[in-house]
Amino acid sequence: MLARTADNIYWVSRYLERADFLARLIEASNRISALPTAYAAKQDEWTSVLIASGADETFPEHFDVANEGNVIAYLAFDPRNASSIRNCIEFARTNARAVRTALTVEMWEHINSAWIKLKSFEGRNGEPTAIDREALIGFLDFVKETSSLYDGFAYRTMLRNDVYYFSRLGVSIERADNTARVLDVKYQLLLPEHEPLGGSVDFFQWSAILRSVSALTAYHWVYRESIKPWNVADLLILRPEMPRSLISCYGEVVRWLDAIGNQYGRHGDPQRQARAIKRKLEGASIKEIFQSGLHEFVDGFITDNNGLAGAIAEHYLLG
Amino acid sequence: MSQFFDEMTNGATEPRPLYDRIAEWLRVSPPALLDSRREQAEILFRKIGITFAVYGDKEAAERLIPFDIIPRLLGRDEWTRLEAGLIQRVKALNMFLTDIYGRQDILRAGIVPSDLIFRNECYRPEMQGHSAPHDIWTHIAGIDIVRIDEEDFYVLEDNCRTPSGVSYMLEDREMMMRLLPGLFSQHAVLPVDNYPDNLLASLRSVAPPHCPGDPCIIILTPGQFNSAYYEHSFLADKLGVELVEGRDLTVRDDVVYMRTTEGLKRVDVIYRRVDDDFLDPLVFRPDSALGVAGLMGAYLAGNVTLANAPGAGVADDKAVYTYMPDIIRFYLGEEAKLKNVRTWRCREPDSLKYVLEHLSELVVKEVNGSGGYGMLVGPHASKEQIETFRQKLLSDPDGFIAQPTLSLSTCPTSFPGGVAPRHVDLRPFVLSSADGARIVPGGLTRVALKEGSLVVNSSQGGGTKDTWVLATNAK
């Protein structure tokens, strides 16, 4: 396939996965900020949301302080924010349109319809200060549905060849990055000095972390006990059955890269790098991770993941 | 009574037999039904993304071409006549191009004036002395046809470069089968959906001789901001070939390659939807980023086939058009089966004089213009517009031709709240291949939606209709 086609397909997936993550992140933070002030976190919630979404660098160019209204508007609708949800959907659609022929009709029509529908939300939520909460919930549902349906159409309608593999690869790489970013921003909350006390502030923070990667219910199924910070870290990093955990994402990354390598009859740098990252995760235990520093571990992972994304681009996408 | 030939009624109270069922359907359908079908069509077209860009209109970066749900009908007998004329005409166009870039017999015979060719912007001196594979220059030709009475078809314009619109022909048919399946099944409509197969077969037939088995065919597009991008992607999809941009290609040792995830892959046939000027910055416009450096070298070395061939545009020039009856006679020894519209060549002093005296009655066109841009429709023009054109004509008479304001035929067309006749034309697509010509029965019917308007171009507010060639005769 054309290198540019692979690049576009891969980025459609990345943008839609990012949009989905941002929607969950906003939802989770909304719950936190709706808590009575006695439960308020030490860390400013809206600043941490900006950091987790990677928008903290550009945000101060447009606003003096971060508050619920302007952060949500910036993350959800602001065209000036390169990674706002509206831009993610817009870019996904632009990439999709550039490679229409590589998508199935269902995938294309779905993403094009979503892009048309996006405009109806923009009209209502264009103002950066006044967010209509009900409209926002509707919007976030729409975003999650957009990403899920795209995934679903891909799964149900695409030929199983390199086009499909690159599409899935984009989802896994982006998803790993998103989970790692949440961990990176919230890691202090997971450190051992925060002993769990029923109904503590931290309980709500931990459950918010789980919600932002839609793992709250999964947590209970896996651990069958109240929320403990080391379990939260374990679930998001090392649990293979948790679809957004780093190890699970890397199971997928290796799988799709191997599929690509097998189809082309050649394995190279990307496959080697991906396997090395996966091995590192498989060899780790949560105890060691906490001992050697959660922050350092997650930081190292983000760097590795970006390095692999660079190798994939170099090897396949730039032609 | 109307002064125009209406294809449904022909000015009578009873419809032409061909249109019996359509007339009955229009009689019994409540206006609300037509309205809802029209709205449904628009929603579907938006969803599919069948849009086009209008240059110079930033607001409407992606606009829909309005679709009219009342089909336009042709009888089998009418189509058979038209088809024979189209094949004859395109055959002559290809022979003309072979001759112009080869021996130039027609110029020596004094049939077509030499300066008309050599001073033509679409003439490519780089091609002089070169032949095109299998002597086919215009692999895909769109011939614009109009009717003014029940008998004759007139050619309004030949399009030998990169004619567009075939995706609308195919999508309009899909839409009709979906929206009005009952009406469709009452008519025995000849199918058009084998067009992509025919196109692929035609492109395969002209692959360079080096090609061992399966030629690698691609479509070259200027990219997603081009007005016809939808069509490019549509065709790539239907043909199952890669849709590439210039930046996806590279030329090494006169061989064209595309950049793939597995490295470079050799390309054999390029259906290019990029104009000559932008194909190769080394040969044509040096500032073009849409083409590929070295492409012409590869083409002239015979390592890749370009469809349509560079330089084919010299045959669809509006001034050359006026010589088509002579061109057909010269190469085929036959009279043209399709008529030409009466045309004054402003390069000839007598004609120029006549045109200047009758500007308010005539349609004046730029010889190299397309898409309805830069033309004067005398009867609808203001005094200032006519004066502006008078000056243009005086300063560059060679650049213009003039034609009478044609009484284009009309077809019933649906609007919010009613149905009224509107002017139409027809663009069938003729495929030329190593093993002969192929045409699917039908084409793109364009309709001028504004009352009284004769301009059917989509860039000027025209719409489209599905064209039904029936298995039954009109007479």
- Across B86-107, average pLDDT: 97
pLDDT for B351 beyond 70: yes
Full domain range(s) for residue A73: 13-158
- Rg for chain B, CA atoms, rounded: 22
Cβ contacts below 8 Å, chain A against chain B, sum to 61
Give phi and psi for B35, each to the nearest 5.
-60, -45
A6: nearest CA partner in chain B: B261
Give phi and psi for A146, each to the nearest 5.
-60, -45
Specify whether A20 is located in the same domain as A154.
yes
A233 occurs within a structural domain: yes
pLDDT for A209 beyond 90: no
User: Who among A100, A112, A319 is closest to B259 (CB)?
Assistant: A319
SS3 B168: helix
Specify whether A165 is located in the same domain as A256.
yes
The residues near B460 (Cβ < 8 Å, ≥ 6 apart) are B371, B372
Specify whether A180 is located in the same domain as A59.
no
Chain B contact set for A313 (CB, 8 A): none
Look at residue B23 in the predicted model and tell me its pLDDT: 95
Rounded to the nearest angstrom, the minimum Cα separation between B61 and chain A is 13
Matching residue, tokens 């009859």: A265
Sheet holding B217-220, edge to edge: B242-244, B217-220, B269-272, B305-307
Specify whether A164 is located in the same domain as A298.
yes
Rounded to the nearest angstrom, the minimum Cα separation between B183 and chain A is 26
Q: Is A112 in Cβ contact with B242 (below 8 Å)?
A: no
> Which tokens go with B58?
């930033």
Measure CA of the first residue to CA of the last residue in chain B; give whole Å. Answer: 23
Chain A contact set for B47 (CB, 8 A): 109, 112-113, 116
User: Which of A141, A158, A175 is the last residue in one of the domains?
Assistant: A158
User: Who among B233, B258, B262 is closest to A264 (CB)?
Assistant: B262
A1 occurs within a structural domain: no
pLDDT grade for B1, boundaries at 50, 70 and 90: very low
What would the pLDDT profile of B223-255 be if each residue is shown by its tens digit?
988 888 999 999 998 999 999 999 999 999 999
Chain A contact set for B227 (CB, 8 A): none
Chain B contact set for A1 (CB, 8 A): 242, 260-261
pLDDT for A5 beyond 80: yes
User: Who among B49, B247, B260 is closest to A97 (CB)?
Assistant: B49
A8 occurs within a structural domain: no
Look at residue B459 in the predicted model and tell me its pLDDT: 67
Q: Is A108 in Cβ contact with B260 (below 8 Å)?
A: no
Residue A96 CA to residue B437 CA, distance in Å, equals: 35
Chain A contact set for B258 (CB, 8 A): 2
Look at residue A91 in the predicted model and tell me its pLDDT: 96
Residue B408 exposed, middle or buried by CB count within 10 Å (0-12, 13-18, 19+): buried
- Rg for chain A, CA atoms, rounded: 19
Chain B contact set for A316 (CB, 8 A): 261
Give phi and psi for B222, each to the nearest 5.
-70, -15
A293 occurs within a structural domain: yes
Most distant CA pair in chain B, distance: 69
Look at residue A201 in the predicted model and tell me its pLDDT: 63
Look at residue B378 in the predicted model and tell me its pLDDT: 87
pLDDT for B371 beyond 60: no
Chain B contact set for A319 (CB, 8 A): 248, 259-261
pLDDT for A193 beyond 90: no
A121 occurs within a structural domain: yes
Rounded to the nearest angstrom, the minimum Cα separation between B386 and chain A is 42
Specify whether A181 is located in the same domain as A240.
yes
Specify whether A225 is located in the same domain as A298.
yes
In this structure, the strands spanning B344-345 and B153-159 are: unpaired
Rounded to the nearest angstrom, the minimum Cα separation between A62 and chain B is 26
Tell me which H or E stretch contains B402.
strand B400-404
* Count of domains forming chain A: 2
Look at residue B31 in the predicted model and tell me its pLDDT: 86
- Exposure on the CB side of residue A249, measured as CA atoms within 13 A: 24
B224: nearest CA partner in chain A: A98
A148 occurs within a structural domain: yes
Residue A102 CA to residue A107 CA, distance in Å, equals: 10
Specify whether A154 is located in the same domain as A285.
no
Q: Is B260 in Cβ contact with A2 (below 8 Å)?
A: yes
- Exposure on the CB side of residue A279, measured as CA atoms within 13 A: 6
Angle between helices A246-264 and A162-190 (to 10 degrees): 160
ipTM for the complex shown: 0.79
Specify whether A130 is located in the same domain as A184.
no
User: Which of A132, A158, A184 is the last residue in one of the domains?
Assistant: A158
Counting residues of chain B whose pLDDT is more than 70, the rounded percentage is: 96
Rounded to the nearest angstrom, the minimum Cα separation between A60 and chain B is 31
pLDDT grade for B406, boundaries at 50, 70 and 90: confident
What would the pLDDT profile of A129-184 be if each residue is shown by its tens digit?
456 778 888 999 999 999 999 999 999 999 999 999 999 999 999 999 999 998 88
Rounded to the nearest angstrom, the minimum Cα separation between A158 and chain B is 14
Residue B337 CA to residue B322 CA, distance in Å, equals: 15
Specify whether A104 is located in the same domain as A174.
no
- Across B178-184, average pLDDT: 93
Chain A contact set for B242 (CB, 8 A): 1-2, 5, 101
User: Who among B46, B229, B258 is closest to A2 (CB)?
Assistant: B258
User: Who among B224, B236, B259 is closest to A3 (CB)?
Assistant: B259
The one-character DSSP state at B309 is P
Specify whether A37 is located in the same domain as A152.
yes
A7 occurs within a structural domain: no
CATH 3.30.1490.270 domain range(s) in chain B: 344-404
In this structure, the strands spanning B375-377 and B249-252 are: unpaired
Q: Is A100 in Cβ contact with B261 (below 8 Å)?
A: no
Residue B176 CA to residue B467 CA, distance in Å, equals: 10
Tell me which H or E stretch contains B433.
strand B429-433
Look at residue B124 in the predicted model and tell me its pLDDT: 94
> Which tokens go with A26?
């906003």
Residue B155 CA to residue B430 CA, distance in Å, equals: 14
Specify whether A153 is located in the same domain as A263.
no
User: Who among B237, B245, B247 is closest to A101 (CB)?
Assistant: B237
In this structure, the strands spanning B153-159 and B140-147 are: antiparallel
Most distant CA pair in chain A, distance: 60
Average pLDDT, chain A: 88
SS3 A294: helix
Residue B357 CA to residue B353 CA, distance in Å, equals: 6
Counting residues of chain B whose pLDDT is more than 90, the rounded percentage is: 71
What would the pLDDT profile of B31-67 be if each residue is shown by its tens digit?
888 999 999 998 888 888 777 665 555 445 577 888 9
- Nearest Cα to Cα of residue B230 among B343, B371, B62, B59: B62
A103: nearest CA partner in chain B: B237
Cβ–Cβ under 8 Å, residues A266 and A245: no
User: Which of A158, A193, A216 is the last residue in one of the domains?
Assistant: A158
A144 occurs within a structural domain: yes
Cβ–Cβ under 8 Å, residues A86 and A80: no
- Across B114-141, average pLDDT: 93
Type of residue at A209: I
Specify whether A99 is located in the same domain as A167.
no
Q: Is A4 in Cβ contact with B248 (below 8 Å)?
A: yes
The CATH number, out of the four listed (3.20.20.210, 3.30.1490.270, 3.40.50.300, 3.40.30.10), of the domain defined by the range B344-404: 3.30.1490.270
The residues near A98 (Cβ < 8 Å, ≥ 6 apart) are A4, A8, B223, B224
